[in-house]
Structure 1
Amino acid sequence: MTSLASQRREPLPDDAPHVLIVDDDQKIRDLLARYLYSQGFRVTAAADAETAQASLRGLDFDIVLLDVMMPGISGLELAREIKAQRDIPICMLTARAEPEQRIEGLEVGVDDYISKPFEPRELLLRLRNILRRGQAAQTTPANQSDELRMGTLVFHIARGELKRNNETIKLTERERDLLRQFAQKPGVPIQRHELSTEDATGSDRAIDVQINRLRRKIETDPSNPVYLQTVRGKGYILYAD
């Protein structure tokens, strides 16, 4: 990781995005905290999962930056716990030799990952992209319906809310983003590379994992999908009612 040292800014406004950094390496933790603060983030740092859990109980966060390998409760275990309890985007820090853990993280619901060593600007781009996806589609064009219907399911595009018979189905930020992309082109095949994150680093396998997770939430039989289908050689297509 290249140097993260930067000049500190003036005090940040209360509505600046709040990031929770969880990493057992104090040097990395401190460097990340200084850099992200200099880029307009309010920052809270934790050396382990237990400290992070205490912070999550007492503070509101816009995003979590979480290391995979930590003593005690691992980053993946903590990510699974966070996603089960609340809807906070998570970006994981991984070593390049941990491809299976990246896939497991996506299965847990992690929104993105970045490999160590990394460039600070790439990290900043990923965090901002995740936050921007969460804020996307707050307004809907006048000529576009705000609802996507699939049988008993209704996806409210602007709110990013999926319901079945008025019961809310919990979505990750990445799943919301995928549904919004499909909602823009219902009945039209979308290639895998179009479904990648904005920095175009998502692998085909990562996209497949995310699609399979989404199918488990919208399909009665995910192995035999009715709405979200694979188009061989092209990608995926979503059929709405």
Structure 2
Amino acid sequence: MQNRVLLVEDDEELRQLLARYLGNQGFTVREAANGRDGLSLALGQDCDIVILDIMLPDISGLEVLRELRAQTHLPVVLLTARGDETDRIVGFEVGADDYIPKPCNPRELVARLQALLRRIAWDQKNEVNGARVYGDLRVEPEHRRVLQNDLPVDLTATEYEVLQVLLAHAGSVVRKTDLMQWALGRRLEAYDRTLDMHISNLRKKLGNEDPPRIETVRGLGYSYRVSA
């Protein structure tokens, strides 16, 4: 079965180029030239993953993302202006799973999409052995759901993957290079703050604590603190 991609991009030349490339790589592609049409198609459950440009002519991609996150956990990869760190940071805060700067390399975009879809598919297929409890957290892999004190925690697909890796190694340090590879499916590049933003969002959603439950081990990586 082909993976269904929704491409929301107002630049017609770029949209057609990416759609053609994605189609040649085995994806079924739906297209939208503005935010409202993209939001409608995404909420219609007509795709498996969304590629979303931030700069759109009617409503911004970030506003589309906010609306999506209010109703669905559909994976979203943002297209951002190269060098615009603010858009990337806000995008992760709103709930993006990944980003790629424009002008983008179609081959890299496909690799990002495939890595994200593989992580989700592997988790759904293999982690069906019942709920697991880590202190105040209850993880239900079969439903890809996390509850804290019996209340659901609203996580993106990537945040869920990052948390799963940290919980699986609770009490030990997970190197950033390993966490990036295991949770996001790609290598850690210089100046790439993607992982840091996901960790920051997880800390906020799980409650800021002192000391934090997800600890930064300077020069190495992160560790999920085991409660005494």
- Say if 1:201 and 1:75 are closer, same or farther in 2 by CA, change over 3 A: farther
For 1:135, the equivalent position in structure 2 comes to 121
Instruction: Pick closer, same or farther for the CA change 1:23–1:140 going to 2, 3 Å.
Output: closer
Answering whether residue 159 of structure 2 is matched by residue 183 of structure 1, we say: no
- Residues 1-241 of structure 1: pairs in structure 2 closer than 5 A: 15-137=1-123, 138-140=125-127, 147-151=132-136, 153-157=137-141, 159-196=143-180, 197-201=184-188, 203=191, 205-219=193-207, 222-240=208-226
Q: Distance in 1 between matches of 2:193 and 2:106?
A: 26
TM-score (norm 1): 0.83
**Matched position secondary structure for 1:73:** coil
Q: Which has the higher Rg, Structure 1 or Structure 2?
A: 1
CA displacement 1:56-114 (0-9 Å, x = unmatched): 34343210001111122111111122112101101111121312111111111111111
Matched residue SS, 1:224: coil
More helix by share: 2
Larger mean CA deviation between 101-110 and 222-231 belongs to 222-231
* Seq. identity, %: 38
TM-score (norm 2): 0.87
Whole-angstrom distance in 2 between the partners of 1:57 and 1:81: 9
Q: Contact 2:128–2:141 at 8 Å: present in 1 too?
A: no
Number of residues paired by the alignment? 222
* Structure 1 gap segments, 5+ residues each: 1-14
Q: Specify the code of the residue in structure 1 equivalent to 2:119.
A: R
What stretches of structure 2 of length at least 5 have no aligned partner? none
